[in-house]
Amino acid sequence: MVTRASGTRTFRSDTMGTELRPLGVACNIGCQYCYQHPQRDVEPPVKRYDMEAMKAAVRQEGGGFTLFGGEPLLVPLDDLEELWAFGLKEYVRNGVQTNGTLITPEHIELFLKYKVGVGLSIDGPEDLNDIRWAGTLGKTRSLTQRTEDAIAMLVQAGIPPSIITTLHRGNATWDKLPRMAAWFRELDAMGIRSARLHLLEVENDAVRVSYHLSPEENVEAMLYFSALEDELATLRFDVFQEIEQLMRATDDKVSCVWNACDPYTTSAVSGVEGNGQRSNCGRTNKEGINFIKARRVNYMRYIALYHTPKSMGGCQGCRFFSMCKGHCPGTSINGDWRNRTEHCAVWMALFERCEQMLQARGELPLSLHPARETFEQALLDHWRKDRHTSLKHTLIRIASQQSKSPDMRSKGGLDCE
């Protein structure tokens, strides 16, 4: 989604729709925690792509696309221009998700010409970004500086990028948080408006031992950044806004991780590979296999999580289930999408904090509403029919039913804003 404000553009990388990956997961750096490594381990590097096959596949998906990777700016400039000219003509918008190390003035000219929104991944300044490894320490630091220079160029050109930052032991332990805060203040002063904080997605034991934060450390870091947000002029960490929207059932624009993603169809993300093949979101790829999309969506994960005890990897009895839904299947316990997220304790703490904030304002959060179980059953009914719906639309339907049923009103109905 590209939005306009004061003559500039911002980019929400979490609403990308179709991810177009001409070079698959090929990348010019080797982030040591990257969730795409299993796929790189088993697939040969993509050296060729079929422009017409990709365009046909994007048309079949029926919407705009974001160039994705790996690193999509490894694609030559002429081919980038062809793809973005196609995107502008047919969809009036374009997007790219990049590590920023390859951005040149020529790329920025294309961004401006073809209305390309930019999402940029970086974990912090200097050594705080070292886990995004480029082979040697010197090259890694050099490319980190190029990414920071690219952010400055984009802002100067009127294209402030959205930022994605993954939290890990290299940038989010207590001793490092003040430097991260100073960096985000600098981004805020430059005019960056949106940053996404990602909890580290663990792909193997080596990553867990070296880089993974404990639940307590993740909560501490998240609360630190939440407090920092109050000091910033324009930059917002969208995860905190989304949690509040979920708790207030105003969730029609929240990220895919909160929207009951079926790992066999990943409806929020449709991938198109260089040969035109359709594929799913790479976060659910745990065995190095780039599965094609299933023909039919189902929500068995969420029905099962609702009924499965927490001791067995489920969400049974959790008052935040309607909002969290076990979170992204790509972060499930033991890499098994049938389980809830391994970050359950972190999200629980943040939902509890939001719950307290809403109560202090005199609002009744969905998690504490007397008709919460009615709400949950309405979601389950939709999932059993292989349909998904937002909390907002579920609320509207229940409120409509309550207005026609004195019995439902007497049991404690949900108020619709």
Residue 416: band (very low, low, confident or very high) from pLDDT cuts 50, 70, 90: very low
Is residue 205 predicted with pLDDT exceeding 90? Answer: no
pLDDT confidence of residue 45: 63
Could you give the CA distance from residue 98 to residue 412 in angstroms, rounded to a whole number? 49
CB 351, CB 243: distance < 8 Å: yes
Q: What is the mean pLDDT of the chain?
A: 87
Could you give the CA distance from residue 180 to residue 128 in angstroms, rounded to a whole number? 8
Could you give the CA distance from residue 378 to residue 395 in angstroms, rounded to a whole number? 9
Neighbouring C-beta atoms of residue 50, cutoff 10 Å: 14
Read off the pTM: 0.87
Buried-state track 374-406, b at ≥16 Cβ within 10 A, e below 16: bbbebbbebbeeeebbbbbebbbebeeebeeee
Domains of the chain listed by start with CATH number: 2-213 (3.20.20.70)
pLDDT confidence of residue 288: 63
Bigger pLDDT: 57 vs 279? 57
For strands 269-273 and 278-279, give the pairing. Answer: antiparallel
Summarised one tens digit per residue, pLDDT across range 211-247 is 999 999 999 999 999 999 999 999 999 999 999 999 9
pLDDT confidence of residue 37: 56
Neighbouring C-beta atoms of residue 227, cutoff 10 Å: 10
Question: How confident is the model over 188-210, as a mean pLDDT?
Answer: 90
pLDDT confidence of residue 104: 97
DSSP H/E element including 345? helix 344-360
Closest C-alpha to 23, from 71, 56, 59: 71
Is residue 356 predicted with pLDDT exceeding 50? Answer: yes
Closest C-alpha to 127, from 138, 114, 116, 119: 138
Query: What is the DSSP code string of 203-218?
Result: -SHHHHHHHPPPHHHH
Summarised one tens digit per residue, pLDDT across range 119-173 is 999 999 999 999 998 989 999 999 999 999 999 999 999 999 999 999 999 999 9
Summarised one tens digit per residue, pLDDT across range 28-44 is 888 878 766 566 556 66
Question: How confident is the model over 103-129, as a mean pLDDT?
Answer: 96
Summarised one tens digit per residue, pLDDT across range 264-308 is 888 777 888 898 988 877 777 766 666 677 888 889 999 999 999
pLDDT confidence of residue 5: 33
Neighbouring C-beta atoms of residue 169, cutoff 10 Å: 16
pLDDT confidence of residue 268: 74
Contact residues for 230 (Cβ-Cβ < 8 A; gap 6+): none
Closest C-alpha to 350, from 216, 240, 215: 240
Identity at 199, one-letter amino acid code: L
